[in-house]
Amino acid sequence: MDVIDAIESRRSIRKYDGRAVTAEVLAQVLEAARLAPSANNRQDWRIVVVTDRKTLESLVPVSGGQRFVGECYAYLVGVAESGGTMSTVDLAIALDHVSLRAVELGLGTCWIGDFDPNGVRQVLGIPDDHEVPICMTLGYPTSSPSSRKRKPLGELFMSNGWGSHWQ
């Protein structure tokens, strides 16, 4: 699969079939995150990979009550070191790599925007001096939702300054 194919195929998956992801496949997905670029190559982030069913269920209430959090195979919790000026951006890049590699391997992901960072921190025992800026589900999807309409290039991009639409 080409990168553009993975980008075009990626969807937000909220229904998982319950199959386990093998350790080998999970390692391939996590390797994509490890290889992601980071500011000054500091890699001042960590990802907590939650696969324990009981812990996943404990994360549902602190993840906006979204049931699919408890139904995915793994919940990836991005943890940034406090004071890391680019660690949140670096985490987003790493998890974007995860989302694209997952598509290639037949998995699905969903970025979680509705979660309580302090609640997630408490459930997982993450120290108070670390931030929890981002979470993502991972697993085998039951189906692939259709693509959504996207704005045209000229509406999103500008050329050489504000107000000059790109071609």
Supply the pLDDT for residue 17: 95
State pLDDT tens for residues 60-98. 999 999 999 999 999 999 999 877 779 899 999 999 999
Bigger pLDDT: 55 vs 87: 55
CA atoms of 49 and 130, how far apart (whole Å): 16
Supply the pLDDT for residue 128: 93
pTM of the model: 0.93
Q: Give phi and psi for 148, each to the nearest 5.
A: -100, 150
Bigger pLDDT: 144 vs 12: 12
Please state the separation of Cα 112 from the chain's center in Å: 7
Dmax (CA) of the chain: 53
What does the pLDDT average to over 12-40? 96
What does the pLDDT average to over 42-55? 95
CA atoms of 65 and 62, how far apart (whole Å): 7
Residue ranges of domains in the chain: 3-156
Fold of 3-156: NADH Oxidase (3.40.109)
Asked whether residue 165 carries a pLDDT value surpassing 90, the answer given is no
Supply the pLDDT for residue 83: 75
Q: Give phi and psi for 140, each to the nearest 5.
A: -85, 125
Residue 124 CB partners (closer than 8 Å, separation 6+) = 48, 50, 55, 77
Task: Give residue 142's pLDDT band: very low, low, confident or very high (50, 70, 90).
Answer: very high
Supply the pLDDT for residue 22: 98
